[in-house]
Amino acid sequence: GVMLARQLPRRVVVPAADDMTALGARLAARLRPGDVIIATGDLGAGKTTLTQGIGEGLGAAGPIISPTFVLSRIHHAAEGRPDLVHVDAYRLSSADELEDLDLEETLDRSVTVVEWGENVAEILSPDRLQITVLRSADPDDDTRTVLITGVGDRWTQADLDELGLDDLEL
Ligand code: ADP
Ligand code: MG
């Protein structure tokens, strides 16, 4: 079969919402045009908050809010940085509907973040950063656990190391 590079997930403990933004900004520093991020997690987990941090890191024009009804929105970034394309795949029920969003048009020159993207990940790109945001079992605990996995040749062990997740102080 085809060998697809898939690294062990990195785990980051995120105590509060502004830490999630800081994590996103840290990721953004290493993101390149063409990068795809698939964000998974329950409603309210923090996928949009993470995307806001990525947008901040890219210097993207806000506000970055869930593209629930438009399904996809483009945020133009700072000079020399890739634009942020923010997708909400929750309501996508077919590959045709995904195609209608014309994501290919911006994919190569942007950073594409797809909330609820687990079902479209493989169609969208063989190379992606898969991020899962988990809530605590205790509803009064704001702590989130973020699992980050690189899929495909883009995300070697070295690329993941370069994200600097270990020395991120949250
Ligand atoms: P999703 O896009 O996954 O549905 P959102 O990012 O829209 O989730 O919402 C997450 C909510 O949880 C926000 O209101 C945010 O302020 C809050 N929150 C509290 N603690 C955290 C945390 N540690 N990380 C992320 N969000 C948090
Ligand atoms: Mg959201």
From 109, 101, 90, select the one nearest 41 (Cα to Cα): 90
Count of domains forming the chain: 1
Residue type, 117: G
Q: Which domain holds residue 156?
A: 10-160
- Tell which residue, 149, 119, 144, 137, has the closest CA to residue 50: 144
Gap between the Cα atoms of 55 and 62, Å rounded? 8
167 inside domain: no
Domain presence at residue 166: no
Is position 56 within any domain? yes
Residue 131 belongs to some domain of the structure: yes
CATH number at 112 reads: 3.40.50.300
Does the Cβ of 142 fall within 6 Å of ligand 1?
Answer: yes
Residues 9-56: pLDDT tens digits? 899 999 999 999 999 999 999 999 999 999 999 999 999 999 999 999
Residue 4 is assigned to a structural domain of this protein: no
Global pTM?
Answer: 0.95
Q: Is 26 in the pocket of ligand 1 (CB under 6 A)?
A: no
Q: Is 44 a pocket residue for ligand 1 (Cβ < 6 Å)?
A: yes
Residue 14 domain-assigned (yes or no): yes
Alpha carbon of 153 to ligand 1 centroid (Å): 30
Q: Is residue 170 part of a domain?
A: no
Q: Binning pLDDT at 50, 70 and 90, where does residue 7 land?
A: low
Q: What is the pLDDT of residues 84-123, one digit of tens each?
A: 999 999 988 888 889 999 999 999 999 999 999 888 999 9
* In the predicted structure, residue 5 carries a pLDDT above the cut 70: no
Task: Say if 3 falls within a structural domain.
Answer: no
Cα distance between residue 38 and residue 115, in whole Å: 6
